[in-house]
Amino acid sequence: MTGAAQADTHVTVLSYDALDGWTEDDHQQAFDVFRNTCADLDDPDWQAVCAYATSNPDPRAFFELLFRPVLIEDGKDGLFTGYFEPELDGARRPSTKYAYPIYKMPPEARDVEKWYSRRELLEEGKLKGRGLEIAWVDDPVELFFLQIQGSGRVNLPDGSKLRVGYGGKNGHEYRSIGQELVRQGIFEPHQVSAQVIKNWVRRNPGAGRELLFHNPSYVFFREVSEVPAHRGPLGAMNRSVTALRTIAVDPAYVPLGAPVWIEKDGKDPMRRLMIAQDTGSAIKGAQRADVFFGTGDDAGRAAGRLRDPGRMVVLLPIQRAYAMIPESVE
């Protein structure tokens, strides 16, 4: 944990008996995903654990032998949401059908803390004609949500796929268009979802365009050629993430690469071992996580429905786990 986060947290080391559903999970699946990013962990205690992981131990025994479950609380209730990788239809060249460009980041935008807003970029044509286009897609609403997710796949006319990943942003703070619809009295909070917003924008093109401009943040992309189309998108550790085994966390509280036991309540309870391999601008707090659901529309619908309470317990190497307990606590 960072110093600021540590000052506001309460840490409890638990037993595995305290993890609801621990014995029923598929530990092999979690172990395989953990090993995908294990080699990137450079602290000595993690390196020792990862070295042992290469000997193909029994997965459940591996976690129980080398890790201790640590409950980190910051006074806020646990909250689980979902995210996914959007899939859009597009082309390498513009046409009447594919008219909305996915842009890479201009060099000068990297040199300033805050660049032009979304409205300025699009209405004043600040990016046009500069060779910054990666591809063109057929739907500006889907393009907006691609920016929220930060990565996606584009289905090209010849049947091939183009993957794009996060390439930077314009420095403006993200503002929720869902919250703006609630503020305007158009929807109640419980009615708002990504699909509801998309439908409303399409039914109200003029007002919908203005709604999208409510969010001044603009995300740029880069082409991701090093990841095969059948693999998941790159997460914050620059490795492919895995559906229903990867979560995005707040790295101020949870180290990237760590196994995390989640106990999500709500309509469809979830008890499983996940791996913290990603981050997100909206993921803040010790008990906050975003579950990756995969690629495409079905994954998007499942992710959009998820907003549930629960708790998450981080599995840490034994010495690191006990070192987190304040010295005044016996």
- Ordered by where they begin, the domains of the chain are 3-82+233-323 (2.40.40.10), 87-223 (2.40.240.50)
Q: Position of tokens 């079905």?
A: 298
| Side chain identity, residue 254 | V
pLDDT at 181 over 50: yes
CA distances from 24 to 6, 19, 27, 223, 324 (A): 32, 11, 9, 40, 28
pTM of the model: 0.80
pLDDT band of residue 41 (cuts 50, 70, 90) is very high
Cβ–Cβ under 8 Å, residues 300 and 86: yes
In this predicted model, what pLDDT tens digit does every residue of 250-306 receive, in sequence order? Answer: 999 999 999 999 999 998 999 999 999 999 877 999 999 999 999 988 998 899 889
* Long-range pairs of 224-233 with CB within 8 A, sequence gap ≥ 24: 224/151, 224/163, 224/164, 224/165, 225/163, 227/163, 229/153, 229/160, 229/161, 229/163, 232/85, 232/292, 232/294, 232/295, 233/85, 233/151, 233/152, 233/153, 233/163, 233/165, 233/295
State the pLDDT at residue 2.
61
Give the confidence band of 3 by pLDDT, cuts at 50, 70, 90: low
Contact between 69 and 315 under an 8 Å Cβ cutoff? The reply is yes
Element (H, E) at 305: helix 297-305
Q: How confident is the model at residue 318 (pLDDT cuts 50, 70, 90)?
A: very high
Distance CA 258, CA 320 (A): 12
Measure the CA–CA gap between 56 and 59, rounded to whole angstroms: 8
Would the pLDDT of 134 be above 80?
yes
Please tell me the predicted confidence (pLDDT) of residue 330.
Answer: 45
The model's pLDDT over 202-237, given as tens digits with 9 standing for 90+, comes to 999 999 999 999 999 999 999 988 777 677 888 889
Q: Report residue 4: phi and psi, to 5°.
A: -65, -40
